[in-house]
Amino acid sequence: MLICVADVLSKSDVADFRRIMDGCVWEDGRSTAGAQSALVKSNEQLPPDGEVSRQLGNRIISALSANPRFISAAVPLHIFPPLFNRYAAADGHRFGIHVDNAVRGDRLTGLRIRTDLSATLFLSEPEEYDGGELVVEDFYGSHEIKLSAGDMVLYPASGLHMVTPVTRGMRVASFFWLQSMVRDVHARSLIFDLDTAIQALVERIGRDDPQTVKLTGVYHNLIRYCAEV
């Protein structure tokens, strides 16, 4: 299940992120890659443990915590500190087909998570670069994703995915993983669909309608049944 979350960051926030990041020293992106991923990874990233990465990452987590669509889709338990990368056409950057590590550990906090979902938050507008599509494979084929700056896509960390070569300009993004309270992807999809339907009903008939209240109870009981905390 791929889910796009619009306007995680405002355009002014994106501009501020880019201004701060442009003044930083970047390093080889392979420093956070697994053994297999390192063979096909070519990009740069901000030092994961650096002050800038942590400060900007905290701003992203704060924005996500107030985003109803993200909460509904992910039912998050733990969010790994966001990382930041860039792909430059001048350097032929790309990230070949790979799968993310099943477990991620943070050296600074000691946090260890099971990577249920991967997230890419775009920090470049699509017209700033050619290529650089995120390609995610699932049961229904390959899906190319290239969103506006400030928008994010969530996708299963267990699936194969890649970033196509950037042939013009520069692609800048934040990427990270999260562990959901609902481990089963099918149950999480049902919960998301149910919550989406409830929110549509709330807009039409109100939150106090008896049927809306009943369905809201079903939603919370379903999470109660499926959640691992």
Same domain assignment for residues 113 and 14: yes
Same domain assignment for residues 117 and 59: yes
How many Å apart are CA 58 and CA 22, to the nearest integer? 18
CATH number where 137 lies: 2.60.120.620
Q: Which of 143, 159, 180 is the last residue of a domain?
A: 180
Mean of pLDDT over the chain: 95
Same domain assignment for residues 70 and 21: yes
Query: Checking DSSP bridges between strand 117-122 and strand 112-114, what pairing results, if any?
Result: unpaired
Q: Which domain holds residue 110?
A: 3-180
Mean pLDDT for the stretch of residues 187-196: 96
Q: Which of 142, 160, 180 is the last residue of a domain?
A: 180
How many Å apart are CA 191 and CA 71, to the nearest integer? 11
Confidence at residue 203, expressed as pLDDT on a 0 to 100 scale: 93
At 105-149, the pLDDT tens digits run 999 999 999 999 999 999 999 999 999 999 999 888 899 999 999
At 26-55, the pLDDT tens digits run 999 987 776 777 789 999 999 999 999 999
118 contact partners, CB below 8 Å, separation of at least 6: 100, 154, 155, 156, 157, 161, 175, 176, 177
- Tokens describing residue 200: 């549509």
Which of these, 176, 153, 155, lies nearest to 80 by C-alpha position?
176
Same domain assignment for residues 73 and 97: yes
Same domain assignment for residues 212 and 118: no
Same domain assignment for residues 176 and 193: no
Same domain assignment for residues 109 and 143: yes
Same domain assignment for residues 60 and 171: yes
Q: pLDDT exceeding 70 applies to what percent of the chain? A: 99
Confidence at residue 102, expressed as pLDDT on a 0 to 100 scale: 96
Under the banding of pLDDT at 50, 70 and 90, the label for residue 1 is confident
Same domain assignment for residues 169 and 210: no
Q: How many domains does the chain have?
A: 2
38 contact partners, CB below 8 Å, separation of at least 6: 30
Contact 131, 164 (CB under 8 A): yes
Same domain assignment for residues 32 and 53: yes
Same domain assignment for residues 153 and 220: no
How many Å apart are CA 175 and CA 119, to the nearest integer? 6
Residue 72 has pLDDT above 80, yes or no: yes
SS (H, E, C) the chain: CCEEECCCCCHHHHHHHHHHHHCCCCEEHHHHCCCCHHHCEECEECCCCCHHHHHHHHHHHHHHHCCHHHHHHHCEEEECCCEEEEEEHHHCCEEEEECCCCEEECCCCCCEEECCEEEEEECCCHHHEEECCEEEEECCEEEEECCCCCCEEEEECCCCEEECCEEEEEEEEEEEEEEECCCCHHHHHHHHHHHHHHHHHHHHHCCCCHHHHHHHHHHHHHHHHHCCC
Same domain assignment for residues 161 and 203: no
Q: Which of 159, 180, 201 is the last residue of a domain?
A: 180
